[in-house]
Chain A
Amino acid sequence: MELDSLYQEVILDHYRNPHHKGLSENKDIQVKHNNPSCGDEVTLNLSMKDGLVQNISWDGVGCSISMSSVSMMSDLLLNKTYLESIEILDAFVELMQSKGQSKGDEEVLDDAVAFAGVSKFPARIKCALLGWMAFKDASSQLMA
């Protein structure tokens, strides 16, 4: 079923058991992003030290796609340099804009290639990007 390309098992796993959820005190900045068309919300706490993503924690409400995406993103970007994190972010955004034509680079995106199917569902792309845009906002503010 077409639906299975959207709801990969690893996505549902992260939705049921999200990683890095619960806001940590260890933060240099907090940003809150929402998706006004569906009401999904993510609050992201980020701490960066010597240009390195030292801590990410988050809380939020939303659908399986938005919540699992921020969970996987936190795994992926932790302990990366700012430049590495932006490279990964760009790769993820590119995958989301691929209209189902890309499988994603597993070397860069690891489990997050599971979101490749989301790019076929235009209404869900913004769900998948919610947490990533919060990270982009927070990290660029810290690096400014």
Chain B
Amino acid sequence: MANFSQYLKDFPILSRSVRGANRLIYLDSGATSQKPNQVIDAESNFYRTVNSAVHRGAHLLAEESSLAYESARENVANFINSQTNEVIFTKSATESLNALAYSFGNSEKGSLFYLQPGDEILVSEMEHHANLIPWQQLAKRTGATLRWIEVDGDGRLDLTSINKLITAKTKIVALTHQSNVLGTINPIKDLAKLSKNVGAIFVLDACQSVPHFQIDVKELGIDFLAFSGHKMLGPTGVGVLWGRGELLKQMPPFLFGGSMIDSVTMTEATWADIPRKFEAGVPNMAQAVGLSAAIDYLNQIGMEQIHEHEIGLTKRLLDGLLHIQGVKIIGPTDLSDRGGVVSFTVDGVHPHDVGQVLDQYGIAVRTGHHCAWPLMRKLNVVGTTRASFHLYNTDADVDKLLDSIIEVQRYFKVNK
């Protein structure tokens, strides 16, 4: 197995100290990942050397920036095994999912995407707000009914009555690939197949999966996919919406403006081909180029190796937590179909206070409801403390976290 500590030097932020002389132990990659020099350089070099508006202008810089931007698109497409023109750059995964909800909502009667009372949209209880609220509000606007798959005691989707949830009424199924709270990886291939059988459109929120393991959109059998650049070592301000070509061609655009048109008169407009139809305005070029550099970086190490490394860390953390009395893991404790996100609670100490003490030791974790408030209510917890990994984390990080949790218990005098 590759020695992952060799990559730490690529991440300048990891060499800073925090709260005194503590080494930064960054365990919040589920919120956003850190960036290697290769990505920071790619983004700033774009500004230094080729910056100009893509797809416009008759000059050399416009030619070079267009090439850089379109090469980034090709790189993303290869990364998820799609056609290049099926990749749309957005500003974030949140925007990708909202773009879908608005485009569907703008569809005319007779369109594949048209929703009306009696139709159903299916989500799950473990969705991030970004893959819940767009659909909840779309249902409100169209009169469609929002339904959801419940979460069981182990933190997995309860699929016992899935045939009653995915029916001829189901028009859209929108699910997360990996829970940002529980780490659970959902059986997407099976669920996409069930959706296809009833003619429903399947939307995958891949924010927590694409950055951590190999995704193949064809193999998954899904229709749409959303993820963000900043969780996969890329810059903020760039996300991806992927859709099957024939669906994107039928889908109406929801952002209008420059670049996305074929022709315009004072009273009418027609749209450019995909993907440009969905990219109005001068796009986030430098960020797309930075994302492309992040993909190169991930590919060089190998997604399989990265996943294996993160699973090793997850196992170490789960084993450690199971041995601390008064600590409860929120989510699956077995490693099958599970990623590198571990939520836990400490008896007698609120998550916010847990995070505060960990911070004093240089450990950055996320605390609270993780933008998944309905899931917190379902699990009957006010919030959790969450550690989430990426390739730059080490066994030493996990051990320091485990030791510091004991310190949390000592500080609040709740150790047994």
Contacts and interface: CB of A to CB of B under 8 A. Distances in A.
Given A7-B411, A39-B368, A62 B356 contact: no
Given A6-B356, A38-B368, A124-B356, A62 B350 contact: yes
A94 B360 CA distance: 26
Given A61-B382, A62-B350, A64-B350, A39 B356 contact: no
A38 B367 contact: yes
Contacts of A1: 360
Contact of A38 (B357, B360, B369, B412): B369
Interface string A110-144: 00000000000100100100000000000000000
A12 interface: yes
A127 B352 contact: yes
B350 A63 contact: yes
A38 B355 CA distance: 12
A25 interface: no
Contact of B352 (A2, A3, A12, A38): A38
A12 B412 CA distance: 8
B19 A64 contact: no
Contacts of B356: 3, 6, 121, 124
A37 B373 CA distance: 10
Interface string B340-378: 000000000011110011001000000111000100100
Contact of B373 (A39, A40, A62): A39
A87 to B, nearest CB: 29
Contacts of A121: 356
A61 to B, nearest CB: 5
A37 B356 CA distance: 15
Candidate in B20, B356, B411, B412 with the most chain A CB atoms within 10 angstroms: B356
B183 interface: no
A38 B371 CA distance: 9
Interface string B1-26: 00000000000000000011000000
A12 B349 CA distance: 11
Interface string B200-211: 000000000000
Contacts, number: 43
Interface residues of B, number: 18
B252 interface: no
A113 B62 CA distance: 61
Contacts of A6: 356
B155 interface: no
Contact of B353 (A2, A37, A39, A63): A63
Contacts of B411: 3, 7
A40 B368 CA distance: 9
Interface in A12-65: 12, 37-40, 61-65
Nearest to B354: A63
Contacts of A37: 368
Nearest to A61: B382
Contacts of B36: none
A110 to B, nearest CB: 23
A38 B20 CA distance: 26
A6 B356 CA distance: 10
Contacts of A38: 352, 367-369, 383
Contacts of A3: 356-357, 360, 411
A52 to B, nearest CB: 33
Nearest to A39: B369
A39 B19 contact: no
B310 to A, nearest CB: 27
A4 to B, nearest CB: 9
A39 B382 CA distance: 7
Nearest to B382: A61
B376 to A, nearest CB: 7
Nearest to B348: A16
Interface in B218-253: none
B376 A39 contact: yes
A3 B19 CA distance: 10
Candidate in A3, A6, A65 with the most chain B CB atoms within 10 angstroms: A3
B353 to A, nearest CB: 5
Interface in B316-354: 350-353
Q: Which 7 A-B pairs have the closest CB atoms?
A: A63-B352, A63-B350, A39-B369, A38-B368, A61-B382, A3-B360, A39-B383
Given A64-B353, A121-B356, 4 more contacts: A38-B352, A40-B352, A65-B353, A124-B356
30 contacts: A1-B360, A2-B20, A2-B360, A3-B356, A3-B357, A3-B360, A3-B411, A6-B356, A7-B353, A7-B411, A12-B412, A37-B368, A38-B367, A38-B368, A38-B369, A39-B369, A39-B373, A39-B376, A39-B383, A62-B350, A63-B351, A63-B352, A63-B353, A64-B350, A64-B353, A65-B352, A121-B356, A124-B352, A124-B356, A127-B352
Interface of B: 19-20, 350-353, 356-357, 360, 367-369, 373, 376, 382-383, 411-412
